[in-house]
Amino acid sequence: MKGETTRGTAPGDATLATLVRRHDRDRYQTALFAPAARREALFALYAFNYEIARVREIVTQPMLGQIRLQWWREVIDAAYAGGAARRHPAAQPLAETIRNFGLSREPFDRMLDARERDLADPSPADIAALEDYADATSGSLVRLALAVLGATDPWACQAAREVGVGYALAGLMRAMPYHAAAGRRYIPDDVCAAVGLDPADYAASRPTAALHAATAAIAAAARAHLAAARRRATPRTARPALLPAIVAERFLLRLARVDHNPFAAELRVPDAMQSWRLAAAMLTGRV
């Protein structure tokens, strides 16, 4: 896809870059460090991720969410079958990205399956189940980004899983105030039982000692995945896809400073230095 506008969209529609910048600041900033010829493809992936991730938030009934996700499954079907793309700001660029870069279908299916499970508002049974969800959503997306960047060696793919899981776990803690208000819980059942978390306290956004302990347990898992990613030797070409690790690490540091209270007001303030931290990581290779 070339130029400022998305082909197949009506005049005045937002470009993919604008959409991603507005709704996914982290990935927008990381994509800017990719080669110019690959950025639009990354924006197509990140726009697709945004569209399916928000389905749970915009529907009032699970069936309506399933219909929306089925629409995206059909977009993917058409892309792999060589059919015509549907008119949507992200659909045609996504189809072109799939074809131009020969992307595997499996990560797309995993992402859609995980978002469909979201519609039932399940709480994960344990940390392993939460990590599987994080890998299906975020890990799959990182692997697709690596493919666009041409960095598909085994070490990079292993790092992709670790970064994807670590970033997603950090993201779920960042979103915990919103999830609590909406009556959704991603804290695993076994962690809740171990720390004695009262569901009423969680729903009321009360920062109890039990909540702090539960959040600390998830944060520990996130740090372990990010540390494992750093032990993988990855090529420079992979760095833009792995940069979310820097965002996650910074959030985890801020979370620790507030004693793992996910409702702390300080955590709602964006990191003004984030783009500089990403640039430093690109230069030093510390991703």
Question: What does the block give as tokens for 153?
Answer: 């060696």
Task: Answer whether 0.85 is exceeded by the pTM.
Answer: yes
Closest CA to 124 of 82, 75, 186, 169: 186
Convert the pLDDT of each residue in 159-174 to its tens digit. 999 999 999 999 999 9
Helix (H, G, I), strand (E, B) or coil at 7: coil
* Better-predicted residue by pLDDT, 254 or 3: 254
pLDDT at residue number 1: 33
Mean of pLDDT values over 221-234: 95
Mention the CATH class of domain 123-287: mainly alpha
In the chain, what are the domain boundaries? Answer: 15-120, 123-287
pLDDT at residue number 14: 52
Convert the pLDDT of each residue in 35-79 to its tens digit. 999 999 999 999 999 999 999 999 989 999 999 999 999 999 999
Convert the pLDDT of each residue in 254-279 to its tens digit. 999 999 999 999 999 999 999 999 99
Please determine, for residue 224, whether its predicted confidence score (pLDDT) is greater than 70.
yes
**Over pLDDT 70: what percentage of the chain?**
95
- Distant-in-sequence, close-in-space partners of 284: CB < 8 Å, separation ≥ 6: none
pLDDT at residue number 86: 82
pLDDT at residue number 286: 79
Burial 24-33 (b: 16+ CB within 10 A, else e): bebbbbbbbb
pLDDT at residue number 83: 86
Question: What does the block give as tokens for 18?
Answer: 């604008």
Convert the pLDDT of each residue in 93-129 to its tens digit. 999 999 999 999 999 999 999 999 999 988 999 999 9
